[in-house]
Amino acid sequence: AQSVTQLDSHVSVSEGTPVLLRCNYSSSYSPSLFWYVQHPNKGLQLLLKYTSAATLVKGINGFEAEFKKSETSFHLTKPSAHMSDAAEYFCVAQSFPGTASKLTFGTGTRLQVTL
């Protein structure tokens, strides 16, 4: 069975400092992986995706993530946090149990950005 673990439920950083949101997955094969962001009272928005091409994936708003098969990780990073980055972030893995894909969501990491 596929699972996604987000190692931190809450991360707090100062504006201008680096962001690291950690995600580990469990799968019997190399899945497609995604990060979604959810701002307060908004729907989820796709940040970036990994689909077995380059292991370092760049997304919107300066975020990037690196797929490391040996560590079964897909951590999200950003060099310099901005106040507008404060949101909930979800790591998602995709599998294909049948003809349709199945998305497994992590429990989320709330990012707080302080002045």
Partner 1 sequence: EAGVAQSPRYKIIEKRQSVAFWCNPISGHATLYWYQQILGQGPKLLIQFQNNGVVDDSQLPKDRFSAERLKGVDSTLKIQPAKLEDSAVYLCASSLATETGELFFGEGSRLTVL
- Judged by CB under 8 A, the chain residues 77 through 106 that form the site for partner 1 are 90, 92, 94, 96, 99-103, 105-106
Cα R_g (the chain), whole angstroms: 14
Which of 74, 108, 111, 113 binds partner 1 (CB under 8 A)? It is 108
Strand (E) positions, 1-115? 3-6, 10-14, 19-21, 23-26, 32-38, 44-50, 56-58, 64-68, 73-78, 87-95, 102-105, 109-114
Q: 5 or 17, CB closer to partner 1?
A: 5
Contact segment (CB under 8 A) with partner 1 among 12-20, 37-45, 52-60, 68-76 equals: 37-45
Q: Do β-strands 87-95 and 109-114 pair in parallel, antiparallel, or remain unpaired?
A: antiparallel
Q: 14 or 96, CB closer to partner 1?
A: 96
The SS3 call for residue 64 is strand
Q: How many residues bind partner 1 (CB under 8 A)?
A: 22
Residues that bind partner 1 (CB under 8 A): 32, 34, 41-46, 49, 90, 92, 94, 96, 99-103, 105-108
